[in-house]
Chain A
Amino acid sequence: MKIALSSTGQDLAAPVDSRFGRAARFLLVDDNSGKMQIVENQQNLNAAQGAGVQAAQLLLRAGVNALITGNCGPKAFRVLTSAGVSVYHCDANLSGAEALQALREGRLQPAAQASVEGHWS
C-alpha cells in the first residue's frame, strides 16, 4: 500500500501539513518496502484556483492508495475517492511518523466526507 502524507517538511519527523491542496509537499511511503518518496506541490501551492483538484490528481498519478492530511475539501475528496483512495484526517500537530503509526494501529478512520467546505480561490 502506498500512503501519501501532506507534509510541512522533508521527512517523517516534520509535522503533517493541515492543508491538502496547498500543502508544501507530499511524502509517499510504500508500506511494504518502507521506501519514501518526496513529491513537491509547488505548482498547486501557487494555483489561482483548483489547488485541491490538482493535488488530488498528482496523487492519483503517483498511484497512492491512502492519504493522511489535516483537512480535505469536497472537490479533492471527490477526485480521490473516485479512484478508491482512502482519506484519513489527522491532527496537524502530529509528525508524519506519528500519523503513520496512528494509521497502522487503527486509530485513524477513513473519512466519509470532506472535512472543510469548498472555495473558489
Chain B
Amino acid sequence: MTSGSTAFRLAIASGKGGTGKTTLALALAEAQAQIGPVTLCDCDVEEPNAHLFLTGRSGPPQAVHRAVPRIDAQRCDRCGRCVDLCAFNALAVGGDCTLVFDELCHSCGGCARICPMGAIHEENSLIGHIRQLRRDNLQLISGTLAIGQVMAPPLIRAVLTDAAAAPLILVDCPPGTSCPMIAAVRSCDVVLLVTEPTPFGLNDLKLAVATVRLLGLPCAVVINRAGSGNDAAVHQYCQAEQVPVALEIPDDRRIAEGYSRGATLLQTRPELAPALHRLLADSIRLGRKA
C-alpha cells in the first residue's frame, strides 16, 4: 500500500455467515479510499451484496465461462476410462453413450485427454457474470453466480484475476470453510476473520483459524457486535491460540439500522476511520512479515 510496488491482498473471511464480513470489507474499503486507491472484490458469488451499498460508474457485465466435457456419441465406444479417471463422479457410461453431469464436473479436462477415441471435447458453459463499479478511489469487482450454477470457485478465481493489477485488494469472502472460501483466501497475504461473541461464532471461528493455518496464511480476528455475548470466551480462545484480536466493533443499534437502510459502517460511525486505517496498516504489516 505504501510503496505501491507489489499488490497486497487482504481477505475478510469468517466461519459463520452473517458476522459482518461485508460490513468490515466496505468499511475498510471506504477508509482506504479516503487516502488512496483500493479494489474491493466481492467473492461471495452466491449472494454478492457489497454493490448494494455503493453507487458509481459501472461497466457492462462480463460473462464468465468454464469448460465442461461433451461426448461425441458416434465416436464414444463406452470404454469407461473417463469414468474411472474422474475424481468427482461426473461421468457414467450409460446404455448408448457416456453421460456427463455438469454440476459435478470440476473442469479439470482429464476426461478429454484420456479418451482413446477422441470422443470428448470441452465446451464453454456460462457460470456467472462479473460487474465492475468505480467511485473515486474505490473500485468494486463483484461476481454473481448464474442461477442453477453451483461451482463458485472458478468464478471467484475470475474475479480475483480481474483485480490482479490493483495495488491493494480487499477480498470479501464467502462464509464457511469449504472450497469457495478457500478459493477466495488462498492467494491472499493475510486473512481477517470476523466473528461475533456467540457460541456459533466462536465454533466457526475455530474452524476458520484451523483452515487458514492449514493454508499457511497469517490471520487476525475482528470481533463484531462486541459486548453482545460471551466476549471473554472469544478473547480466551484467541489468546490461547496466539491469534491477535485486531479490532472490536461495538454492538450498536445505530450501525444495524444504518446497514438496513444501505448506509455503511463508516457512514454511520465516521469516527471509526482512524481505527480502520490502523487495522489496515496492522494487517499489511502482519501479511508482509509472514
State the A residues within 8 Å of B (CB): 47-51, 53-54, 56-57, 60-61, 75, 78-79, 82-84, 118, 120
B103 touches A83 (CB 8 A): no
On whether the beta carbons of B104 and A57 are closer than 8 Å, the reply is: no
Of A54, A75, A120, the residue contacting B150 (CB under 8 A) is A120
Q: Which chain A residues border B97 with CB–CB below 8 Å?
A: 82
Bound-state Cα–Cα, A60 to B80, Å = 12
Contact between A60 and B104, CB atoms less than 8 A apart? no
Q: Are B101 and A60 in contact (CB under 8 A)?
A: no
Binds A, one of B85-93, B129-137, B180-188, B190-198: B85-93
Contact call B89/A51, Cβ cutoff below 8 A: yes
The CA of A82 and the CA of B53, in the complex, are separated in Å by 49
A47 to B104 alpha-carbon distance, docked (Å): 12
Please determine whether B104 and A82 come into contact, CB atoms closer than 8 angstroms.
no
The answer to whether B104 touches A49, judged by C-beta atoms less than 8 angstroms apart, is yes
B90 touches which of A50, A56, A61 (Cβ 8 Å): A50
Contact B95–A49 (Cβ < 8 Å): no
Of all chain A residues, the one with the shortest Cβ separation from B91 is A53
A57 touches B92 (CB 8 A): yes
Please state if A49 and B92 are interface contacts (CB–CB under 8 Å): no
Residue of A nearest to B96 (CB): A82
Q: Which of A61, A78, A120 is in CB contact (< 8 Å) with B104?
A: A120
Instruction: Give Cα A49–Cα B89 distance, bound, in whole angstroms.
Output: 7
Write the chain B residue with the least CB distance to A51.
B89
Tell whether B1 is near chain A: CB-to-CB under 8 Å: no
CB <8 Å contact, B99 and A49: no
Residues of B142-172 contacting chain A, CB below 8 A? 150
Q: How far is the CA of A47 from the CA of B243 in the complex (A)?
A: 35
Given A54-B92, A82-B96, residue A75 in contact with residue B101 (CB < 8 A): yes
Known: A78-B99, A118-B103, A120-B150. 17 other contacts (CB 8 A): A49-B88, A49-B89, A49-B104, A50-B88, A50-B90, A53-B91, A53-B104, A57-B92, A57-B93, A60-B93, A60-B94, A75-B101, A79-B94, A82-B95, A82-B99, A83-B94, A83-B95
- Identify the B interface with A (CB < 8 A): 80, 83, 88-97, 99, 101, 103-104, 150
User: Given that A78-B99, A82-B99, A120-B150 are known contacts, is A50 also in contact with B93, CB under 8 Å in the complex?
Assistant: no
Total A-B residue contacts, Cβ distance less than 8 Å = 47
Within the complex, the shortest CB–CB distance from A13 to chain B, in Å, comes to: 31
B197 CB, nearest partner CB in chain A, Å: 30
Question: Closest residue to A78 on the B side, CB-wise?
Answer: B99
User: Which residue on chain B has the smallest CB distance to residue A48?
Assistant: B88
List the B side residues contacting A60 at CB < 8 Å: 92-95
In Å, the complex CA distance between A113 and B83 comes to: 24
A50 to B97, CA, bound (A): 18
Docked CA distance A78–B95 (Å): 10
Offer 26 A-B interface pairs, CB within 8 angstroms, sorted by A.
A47-B89, A49-B104, A50-B90, A50-B101, A50-B104, A51-B89, A53-B89, A53-B91, A53-B92, A53-B101, A54-B89, A57-B83, A57-B92, A57-B93, A60-B92, A60-B93, A60-B94, A78-B99, A79-B94, A82-B94, A83-B94, A83-B95, A118-B103, A120-B103, A120-B104, A120-B150
Interface centre among A48, A61, A79, by most chain B C-beta atoms within 10 angstroms, is: A79
Q: Please, which residues of chain B bring their CB within 8 A of the CB of A75?
A: 101, 104
Q: How far is the CA of A49 from the CA of B150 in the complex (A)?
A: 13
Contact assessment for A56 and B89 in the assembled complex, using a CB-CB cutoff below 8 Å? no
Per the bound structure, the CA–CA distance linking A95 and B99 in Å amounts to: 33
The interface residues of chain B lying within 8 Å CB-to-CB of A51 are 89
Bound CA–CA A49/B178 (angstroms)? 14
Instruction: Give the nearest-CB partner of B101 in chain A.
Output: A75
Whether A79 and B103, one on each chain, are in contact in the complex, defined by CB atoms closer than 8 angstroms, is no
| Residues in chain A near residue B92, CB distance under 8 A | 53-54, 56-57, 60, 79
